Amino acid sequence: MSFWDHFEELRWLLFRVIAVWFVVCIVVFINKSFVFNNIFLAPKEGYFITNQLFAKFADLLSIDVLRINDSPIQLINIKMGGQFWSHIFISVVFSIVLMMPYVLWEIWRFLRPALYKNERKKAGGIVTVCSLLFLCGVLFGYYMVLPLSINFLGHYQVSELVLNQISLWSYINNVASLTLGLGLVFEFPVLVFFLAKMGIVSPANLKKSRKIVFVIVLILSAIITPPDVFSQIFVSIPLMILYEISVYVAGKMYS
């Protein structure tokens, strides 16, 4: 194919992605009550599954500090049209999450002809792996990190004289950045796969950095979790498993 043929293929790829994204956006926008009440606002409520599980652990271990979001934070809207633009923003973000597997499949379909036969065989399941890792990251962020973050940041006070009046936009921005951010972080093994293939990283370098990464993960976990070791370890373990998977992937590339 000539350069312009490739350009035409890319143009149609973008057209298909935008068309599907637009349709998904409309579907999400129409289902406003379900998307907001049952998905985006649920993690701050006591009935949310993660908050319920922490409450059960608190009763079992007799550690009250494990109770999170016992008193839900109240959200306010301080701008004219703020709720409408928040609705649009959530429709855009949520539709991106929903259609990510399709976007990855379209990208793979565009790049596949440029690969050699043996390269196609090695990277055959890349779309499935990327989609599963992204989904795992989003779910981990939504069910684990987000409730802990809301509990800590939403109730943190520098003084009893300062009340927390949290805006709807601030809350939504926190939800979107955490879930999408962790979805991308969970793609780390795939990134390592390509970096190892190009010879930029090696298993030896990753193993050498293990202690530093472990300390960073513990610090991040301590920031977003309640002040107890149990919650900190609970969040740290999946992130360290992710790093070890990356070390394994790099090792397979060098073997």
Residue with the two structure tokens 């109770």: 67
- Report the mean per-residue pLDDT for the chain: 83
> What is the largest distance, in Å, between two alpha-carbon atoms of the chain?
69
Looking at residue 155, its pLDDT comes to 83
| DSSP string covering 137-198 | HHHHIIIIIHHHHHHHHHH--S-TTS---EEHHHHHHHHHHHHHHHHHHTTHHHHHHHHHHT
CB 225 within 8 A of CB 152: yes
Average pLDDT of 14-26?
92
Q: Choose between 174 and 35: higher pLDDT.
A: 35
Residue pLDDT, tens place only, 162-172? 888 899 998 99
Looking at residue 120, its pLDDT comes to 66
Residue pLDDT, tens place only, 181-209? 888 888 888 887 777 777 777 777 777 77
User: For residue 236, which of 216, 219, 221 has the smallest C-alpha distance?
Assistant: 221
Record the pTM.
Answer: 0.81
- pLDDT band for 119, please (50, 70, 90 cuts): low
Looking at residue 233, its pLDDT comes to 73
Instruction: For residue 228, report the phi and psi dihedrals to the nearest 5 degrees.
Output: -150, 150
Looking at residue 197, its pLDDT comes to 73
Q: Where are the domains of the chain?
A: 3-186, 188-255
